[in-house]
Chain A
Amino acid sequence: MNDRSQRILIENLHLSFGDTHVLKGIDLEIAPGEFFAFLGPSGSGKSTLLRAIAGFGPLPEGRILIGDEDVTRQPPWARNVGMVFQSYALWPHMTVWKNVAFGLEERRVPKAEITPRVERALDMVGLLELADRRPSQLSGGQQQRVALARTIVVEPRVLLLDEPLSNLDANLRIQMRRELRSLQRKLGITTIFVTHDQEEANTTSDRMAVLDQGVIQQVGTPMELYDNPTNLFVAGFLGSANRLPGRIVTEGAGRVFRAENDIVIPVAADEPEGEATAIFRPQNVHLKAQGEKTDESTICLPGRIAHSEFLGSLIRYGVDLAGTEILVDEPHQAGQPVLPEGADVTACLSADQVRILRE
C-alpha cells in the first residue's frame, strides 16, 4: 500500500478566519506510509492544518495534494481521507456496529461486503463483542477504538488523528499510543497525528513538524529536533532547556561563546561572530565534587545550589553560576541525599552538548 497515492503535499498554504491569519505559508511533504506528527501549543494552527487536509474550515489559499490529486477545493465527503475527532464524535443514536458501517453505506458498498468488513475492523480494535452497544455505554478507551474502527473500515488514503488521546487518562494514553503505532504499522497507512504533548509525538511518529503561530518551525525526526533545534521555540517546546544569552567572539586562535556573565564555551572555528544564545539540556550538566578530574572538552564552573525539586526519577537543581541560574538534572538513586541549598558545587558540561542559536 505504500505507493505514491498516499503521499501528502502541501504548498504555500494560507488560511484565515475572518481577519485572523491562522496558517501562514505552510510547505510540507509527508511520505507514503509515514507516521507524521503536528506538534505545537494551542493556537499554533496544528488542528486547523489537519482540518484543512480533511476539507473542513474556510477555503485556504495554496494547494493540498493527496497523491497527485489536488484536493484543495474538494468537499470533505469526496476526499476519502479518514479523520478521528478529538471528541470521537460517535453518533449517540447508533450502535457501535451502525457507527462503523456508516461510511461503507455512504460509499454504497454492497450489503454482503459490509458485514465482513465491519467485523474485521471491530475485531482489529478488539471490540467485536460490543458491537450492539451504544457509544454512551462504552468507556473512553473503547469509544476511541470505535472511532478508529469507523475510520479505518473505509480504507481511507490517509488517516488524520486530531489529539486522539487527550480525553484519556494517563495510563490508557500510553497503552493507546502503542496500539495506534502498531495498527498504523500493520495497515501501512499515511497518518498524521496532532498533539500538544511532545512525549506523544516523540513516541509515535517517524517525523514531526513543530508549529507555532501558524508557521512550521522545524521538520525532522523526533531525535533530530530534540538534539538540534533550529530555534529557541523548538528548543524550549521539546523539553527543558537552559539558555545563556551572549556573543560569539574571536579569542586566541579560535572562536568562543561568551555569555553575559562571562561563562566561556568553546565553539567551532567557523561559527560567525555576533549575538547568539547557547542552549543545553539540564540532564547534560553534571554536578561534580571539587577537584574531580575532567577531560579538556568539558567546561566546569563553580556554582551554588539555589533550590531543588525531587521529581522521582531525578532531582532538579537550580544552580547559580555567577548570577545566572541554570537547571541541572541529576538521576536519583535510593539513599542518595539531596544537596542542601547554598552548597558549593562544580557544574560540568561537555562542549559538544551545547547548541548555538541565533535569533
Chain B
Amino acid sequence: MAAQSRGQWGAAGAGLAVLILLLAFLVIPVAKVVYVAFVDVNTGGFTLLNFVDFFRTSLFRESFVNSLYVAGMSVVFASIISMPLAYFTTRFNFAGAALIQTLGVIPLIMPPFVGAVAMQMLFGANGSVNLLLDEWFGFTIPFMEGLNGVILVESIHYFPFILINLSASLNNIDRAMEESAQNLGAHGFRLFRRIVFPLAMPGFAAGAALVFLKVFDDLGTPLLLNVNNMLAPQAYLRISSIGITDPMGYVISVILVAFSLLSLWTSYLATRGRDYASVQKGGGGLMRRDLRPWEKVGAWALILFILALVLSPHFGLLLLSFGTIWSFSVLPDGFTLAHYREVFSTALPYITNTLLYAGLAALFDVIVATAIAYVVWRTDLPGRKVLDYLGTAAVAVPGVVLGIGYLRTFHDLNVPIVGKPLASWWVIIVIALMIRRLPYALRACTAALQQVSVSLEEAAQNLGAGRFDTVRRIVVPLMAGGIAAGFVTSFATAAVELSATIMLVSAESDAPLSYGIYVYMQTAAGRGPGAALGVLAVIIVGIATWMSHRFVERTRATAEADRKLAAAAGA
C-alpha cells in the first residue's frame, strides 16, 4: 500500500472538491430541513412540538396513512404483475422473454406523472374502459377513484424494479442448488417453497423496497391526479402556499426521509450476507423447459394483457396529444395536429431548457462520479469511503425534500453579477438534478472502473506515466463505455424530473419540460398540448435510453468479436 499513497495530491484535491460540493448541495440543505423541523418557530429552541402538531392535525394523519397505504399497495400490485413475468422468463424457453425484458425500461422512459392524466381518460369514472363496461355490462370499476388511481399508475410504472431484481436473482441461482434438492427427494411446489423462493427472496426484497421508496416519495403523480391528501403533495402545498417559514413542510420532509431510509435499510437487511449469486461452471440458472401448446397460449395471453396495461399510459398520452375533444367518450371526437403546433410555437423553451439542464447535470454527474469512483477504488486517502456513501445517499432524499432544503438554505444567498438569490437562479435546478441523479452515474462509473484491472494502470506507471496521465490515457478511455452509459441514464432521468424541479422553478421562462407538462395538465384545455409535450419528453428520453443500450451492447459485441478473432487465431 505504500506505493499507492505516493503521488496522490491530485486525487486528494479532486476528492476534496467533490466533498465540498456534496456538503454544500446535499448534506447542508438536508441537515437544514431536519434542523428546522425540530426548532420552535418562536423561541428558536429545540422542540418536538412541530411533530406533535403534525399528528394532531387530522389532514396530516390522513395523509400519512394514505402515503403508507398507497406505497404498500403499489408494492403488492407491482409484485402481482412481476411474479408471473419473472417466472416465465426464468423457467421456460419462452419466445416472449425478450419482450418481457424490454418492459424493464418503462419506468426510465416515462415517469408516472406524465401518463397520469391520460390514465384518467382511459380508466377514470367517465373514461373509455368504464364507459364500455357500463354500456356492455351495466357496471363500472373505480380504477382511478382517489388513492386507487395513484396506486394503479404507480404500480404499472414501477413494477419493473421488482421484475428486474427478481429475474436477476432467479437467474443467479446455481442449477445444482435445485438439482441437489431433487436428488434428495424434493420436487414441485415444495422445491419452489423450500429452495427456489428463499434463494430469490433478496432480489425480490430489494426491488420491493425500491418501489416502496419511489412511490412514497413521488410528488408528481398525486398532484396531477389531484390527490392532495398524501405526504409529498402536502409538503409541496404547505411550502408553496404558506411559505418557507411554515414548519409543517419540514416535518413532512423528515418523515419522508425517515421512511426512505427505512425502506433502504430493509432492503439492506434482506440482502446483507445473502449474496446467493452462486453460478458455477456448468450452472447457468434454473432448469428451463419448453412450454406445452396450451401453456404457451395461456402465457402469451397473460403477457399481452400485462403489456396492454403497462402501455396504456403511453397509448392514452398519444391519443390525448392527437385528439380534439375527449370527454365522456371512448375515443377522442376527432384528431388534429394542433396541439403539436402549439407546443412548437409556444413551448419550445421548455424543451431547450430541458436539454440544457439535463445535459449539464449529466455531464457534471459523470465527472463527479468518475472522480469519486477513482478516489474510492484507486487511492488509500483517509475517509474516501465517505464520498461513496454521500454520492449514493441522494437516493434516500426525495426531490421535495431537496427542493425545500435548497429554498431554505439558498433563498438569501445572492449570486453576484446575476443579482438574484441562488435559490431562484436557473442553475439551482441543474444542481438539484445533478445531485438527484448522481447515484445512477456513480453506479455506472464504479462498475466501469472495477472492470479496469489495476495492473493496466501499474503497467502505465511502470513505463513512466504519472497519476494524472494514467487516468487520462488509460483509465478514462477504458471506462468510456460505462461513463457514456452513466451520462445517458442520468440525462434521461433528469429530463423528466418533477418533484425538485417544481419547487425550484421561479420563472416560467426557466422551466423545463416536466414543469411545462404539469402546468398544461392543470386545465382541461391544456391537456392536449400537455400530452404533446409529454410525447416529446418520452421521445427524447427514449432516444437517450436507446443510445445507452447501444453503448453497452457495442462494448459487449466488440468484446465478443475480439474473442472470436482470438479463438480463430489460436486455432
Q: A residues touching B (Cβ–Cβ < 8 Å)?
A: 47, 54-56, 75-77, 80-83, 85-89, 91-93, 102-103, 106-107, 136, 147, 150-151, 154
Contacts and interface: CB of A to CB of B under 8 A. Distances in A.
B176 A102 contact: no
Contacts of A81: 183
Contact of A89 (B179, B187, B190, B198): B179
3 closest cross-chain pairs (CB), A and B? A103-B184, A89-B176, A106-B185
Interface in B167-191: 174, 176-177, 179-187, 190
Contacts of A150: 180, 184
Contacts of A56: 179, 182
Contact of A154 (B177, B185, B278, B280): B185
A76 B177 CA distance: 14
Interface string B181-214: 1111111001000110011010000000000000
Contact of B184 (A55, A106, A136): A106
B183 A82 contact: yes
B273 interface: yes
Given A92-B199, A136-B273, A87 B278 contact: yes
A76 B278 contact: no
Given A86-B280, A136-B273, A77 B199 contact: no
B179 A77 contact: no
Given A91-B195, A93-B198, A85 B185 contact: no
B182 A75 contact: yes
Contacts of A93: 198-199, 201, 274, 276
Contacts of A107: 185
A87 B277 CA distance: 13
B186 A106 contact: yes
Given A77-B187, A91-B180, 6 more contacts: A76-B182, A76-B183, A77-B182, A85-B176, A91-B195, A150-B180
Nearest to B287: A56
B174 A106 contact: no
A55 B287 CA distance: 13
B283 interface: yes
**Most-contacted residue by chain B among A77, A102, A151 (CB, 10 A):** A77
A152 to B, nearest CB: 11
What is the size category of the interface that chain B forms with chain A?
Answer: 20 to 34
A89 B174 contact: yes
A102 B181 contact: yes
A91 B191 CA distance: 12
22 contacts: A56-B179, A75-B182, A76-B179, A77-B184, A77-B185, A80-B185, A81-B183, A87-B278, A89-B176, A91-B177, A91-B181, A92-B199, A92-B274, A92-B276, A93-B198, A93-B274, A102-B181, A103-B185, A106-B186, A136-B273, A154-B184, A154-B185
Contacts of A87: 174, 176, 278, 280, 283
B282 interface: yes
A103 B194 CA distance: 12
Interface string B59-76: 000000000000000000
Nearest to A147: B180
A107 B278 CA distance: 27
A80 B179 CA distance: 13
B284 to A, nearest CB: 12
A212 B192 CA distance: 37
Interface in B252-282: 273-274, 276, 278, 280, 282
B279 to A, nearest CB: 9
Nearest to A166: B281
Contact of B180 (A47, A75, A85): A85
Interface of B: 174, 176-177, 179-187, 190, 194-195, 198-199, 201, 273-274, 276, 278, 280, 282-283
Nearest to B279: A87
Max chain A CB contacts within 10 Å: which of B174, B180, B282?
B180
Contacts of A136: 273
B559 to A, nearest CB: 24
Nearest to A150: B184
A91 B184 contact: no
A86 B282 contact: yes
B222 to A, nearest CB: 38
A272 B109 CA distance: 79
Nearest to B198: A93
Given A87-B174, A87-B280, A150-B184, A106 B190 contact: yes
A54 B187 CA distance: 14
Contacts of B176: 85-89
Contacts of B180: 83, 85, 89, 91, 147, 150
Contacts of A103: 184-185
A113 to B, nearest CB: 15
A49 B407 CA distance: 70
Contacts of B184: 77, 82, 102-103, 106, 150-151, 154
Contacts of A147: 180
Nearest to B277: A92
B276 to A, nearest CB: 5
Nearest to A108: B185
A135 to B, nearest CB: 10
B276 A83 contact: no
B413 to A, nearest CB: 51
A335 B548 CA distance: 67
Contacts of B190: 106
Nearest to A80: B185
| Best-surrounded residue of B198, B282, B283 (most CB of chain A within 10 A) | B282
B174 A54 contact: no
A346 B185 CA distance: 64
A285 B509 CA distance: 94
Contacts of B174: 87, 89
B183 A54 contact: yes
B177 A89 contact: yes
From A76, A82, A88, name the one whose CB has the most chain B CB atoms within 10 angstroms: A76
A92 B274 CA distance: 8
Contacts of A106: 181, 184-186, 190
A76 B185 CA distance: 7
Nearest to B183: A83
A77 B186 contact: yes
A287 to B, nearest CB: 37
Contacts of A102: 181, 184, 186, 194
Nearest to A93: B198
A136 B180 CA distance: 17
Contacts of A85: 176, 179-180
A242 to B, nearest CB: 28
Which of A86, A92, A150 counts the most B-chain CB atoms under 10 A from its CB?
A92
A78 B273 CA distance: 34
A151 B179 CA distance: 12
A91 B199 contact: yes
Contacts of A91: 177, 180-181, 195, 198-199
A323 B181 CA distance: 59
A55 B177 CA distance: 15
A186 to B, nearest CB: 21
A83 B273 CA distance: 27
A77 B183 contact: yes
A86 B176 CA distance: 9
Contacts of B177: 89, 91
A92 to B, nearest CB: 5
Nearest to A106: B185
